[in-house]
Amino acid sequence: MSEKVKVALNWLKILLESESIEYQIVGGLAATIHGGSREIADIDLYIHNSDANKILAHVAPYISKALAHYSEYGWDLEYFQLVYQNQKIEIGLALNTKIQSSLDGSWHQLEIDFSKSVTKSYQGIELQVIPVHQLVEYKRILGREVDLIDIQQLASSSAP
């Protein structure tokens, strides 16, 4: 478990809660929280598009990639990237996010349903996390090497 991830998550959670911003942790961190063991590269989460300006006002010194529309690495979305104490954080805007299938190149709408978030703990920090079945579903579509590792680890961690 990474201390720098914990420090950044704590800072981020306090910031999000102070502005009453609903969020959902996704990606590799969500996989780890649900039982995976791959090393965490970055903290990925989604917020409502309407909350972007609330958070941007607080994180300006940490922005390493400005809020914009990006289409890269199988993703088509609006997001911005922060680096807080050497920890990369990517905050996506939930609306109109698409992911590309590694199988046939088709694009799929990624539905982020904040009402279905599950409360889970990472190093004692309570977080709102994507449900495991939704995480596996979108990682299957993306099908990158890291996604396949996460899917395999999540399947074995939930086995009886």
pLDDT in tens, 22-31: 999 999 999 9
Residue 157 has pLDDT above 80, yes or no: no
Ordered by where they begin, the domains of the chain are 3-155 (3.30.460.40)
Given this model, what pLDDT does residue 51 score?
97
Residue 125 has pLDDT above 70, yes or no: yes
- Confidence band of 145 (pLDDT split at 50, 70, 90): very high
Q: What is the pTM of this model?
A: 0.94
Nearest residue to 9 via CA among 51, 43, 56, 32: 43
Q: CA 97, CA 88: separation in Å to the nearest integer?
A: 20
- Confidence band of 55 (pLDDT split at 50, 70, 90): very high
Q: For residue 86, give every residue at least 6 positions away whose Cβ sits within 8 Å of its Cβ, in sequence order, or none.
A: 4
Nearest residue to 45 via CA among 86, 72, 5, 100: 5
Q: CA 31, CA 34: separation in Å to the nearest integer?
A: 5
- Confidence band of 159 (pLDDT split at 50, 70, 90): low
